[in-house]
Amino acid sequence: MAVVKVKSVKTGLAKTIRYIINPDKTRDGQLVSSNYEQSMDPDALARAMTDDLEATRFGIRRGTVLGRHVIQSFDPEDDITPEQAHRIGVAFVEEITHGQHKYVIATHTDRRHIHNHIVICNASDATHTMLRMQKNTLGAWRDTSDRLCRENGLGVIRKPKVERHGRSLEEIYSGVRGDGIKDRMRTSLDLAAAHAGSFQDFTERARRAGIEVTVRGRRLTYTDTRSGLKIRDLRLGQAYDEHNIMAKLSRAQVIQISFDTKLIARRGKESVTVYLPGTRRGETITVPLDRCVHAGRTWRAYIGVDNDQTITDRRGRYLRTTRPEGLYTHFAAPDMSLASLIKTRLPITPGVSEAQRRYYAIQGRRLDQLRDMARQLSTARKWATGDGGLDAAIDRLERQVRDERADFQARVVAASDLAGDGTEEAREILRDVDARDRRLGRLETDLAALKRLSRRMERKDEGRGRDTTRQRTRKHGRRF
């Protein structure tokens, strides 16, 4: 099987060709060929391509795509020789160019996986027209590569589902073989949670399965000890964040309360007693240690939504009971928005001078602000309907997010009970969890946008108030 990727070459055509025909990577040039030049001089190869580009209608202008750099990578598990890979690459490029574009192909053997580098001139030497990469072009090229692989006795990559994030070549190949790193980690974590009785037990079982679990603030980081790959919890899906892991361990829906070490009244072998904030240390609750996670001074306790909580005085005498949600009159409720959903800008610094870099940075920030404002207005138009305006929309959306989180957590618990079960019922629940994960992510992104818009409007109103005060001061004089 082979993975096909494409890059555009806009500058340094000779430099790109020089890189791909490197003798150290191509068995002293034995695995290099072209369809138009016997000499393997990079400058001569690039010059011939440039002649075709200059013969097109508009010639070579600033930003013109000079060539396409195609990378065809074969699975290291495939029984394929460099010579066979080169022949497949030649057949592949001849078919996708219809023999009308100059190209140079080189097969590299310096990595664990054999791969072809192909530089295709973007201008046809027959019609002097440019090669246009349309929406379906890359897909068609990959289909061609797959067919050639099948004809040569190699496997092909099954069409994957839409991915949550980018994957490396190693992960693509391992995923096709059924041992994708992230898929394997999800399965191992599900089994660890299904058999664990506490968070410490869960981390120990995960460690024995080859996964180190690290608490970093409110997030978990999972490290695959075999590959060294580190993954944040939400990269695996919300079913693997701390809140939902604790729901799996409790076999029930849970709420979260957070407290500082200073609020701990007593700590035993199996439980911790915590002062209720706002009671002047006059009232306490007791939480099992196996339902707590702590990092540094911050503790987080997870309490089942169906378990009434007993409140005692500082001597341990009974005072009253309360529903778990009633604890939020003392403890802060978890933030409804996900900070991890906010996209950050890449550290790109264009420009040849410091002044140009500052200018581009300012324009980039303005573009980000406009894009974010458009998102906020679009979200407001979607949710702020009827009476109440923006505040009412935020309240409605917060309620919906809470309901969705509760439903999502219930399905996570159900999926945990069926961990390792290969029945159709288990698969259906897992599909439902995945769909709810995506829907919940969209709702939380909308909620974050509405809250940013609300804060922006508040700042604007405050600015108007200050302007009005200044105008009155100028008109009537300063008052004491």
Helix (H, G, I), strand (E, B) or coil at 327: helix
How would you list the strands of the sheet with 292-295, edge to edge?
254-260, 298-304, 292-295
Amino acid identity, position 202: F
Among residues 383, 444, 448, the alpha carbon closest in space to that of 408 is found at 444
Q: Are 138 and 6 in contact (CB under 8 A)?
A: yes
Cβ atoms of residues 130 and 121 within 8 Å: no
Give the contacts of 116 (CB within 8 A, at least 6 positions apart): 70, 71, 72, 73, 85, 86, 88, 89, 92, 105, 106, 107, 108
What does residue 426 show for φ and ψ, rounded to 5 degrees?
A: -65, -45
Is residue 128 within a helix (H) or strand (E), and if so which, with residue range?
none
- Judge residue 251's burial from the number of C-beta atoms within 10 Å of its C-beta, 0-12 exposed, 13-18 middle, 19 or more buried: middle
Write down how long the chain is. 480
* Distance from the first to the final alpha carbon of the chain: 82
Interatomic CA distance for residues 293 and 114, integer angstroms: 46
175-179: which pairs have CB atoms within 8 A and are 24 or more residues apart?
176/1, 176/75, 177/77
The tens-digit pLDDT sequence of the chain (480 residues) is 688 999 999 989 999 999 999 998 998 889 999 999 877 899 999 999 999 999 998 889 888 999 999 999 887 777 788 999 999 999 999 999 988 999 999 999 887 788 999 999 999 988 889 988 888 899 899 999 989 988 888 866 544 444 444 555 555 555 554 446 787 888 889 888 888 888 989 999 999 999 999 988 778 999 988 878 888 887 888 788 888 888 888 877 788 888 888 899 999 988 999 999 889 899 999 999 988 998 778 888 998 887 788 999 988 899 999 988 888 888 877 654 443 433 434 444 455 566 666 666 666 666 656 666 666 666 676 667 666 677 777 777 777 777 777 667 666 666 665 555 556 666 676 677 777 777 777 777 777 777 777 777 777 766 666 666 666 555 555 443
Architecture field, domain 2-151: 2-Layer Sandwich (3.30)
Q: CA triplet 264, 265, 269: central angle to 5 degrees?
A: 80
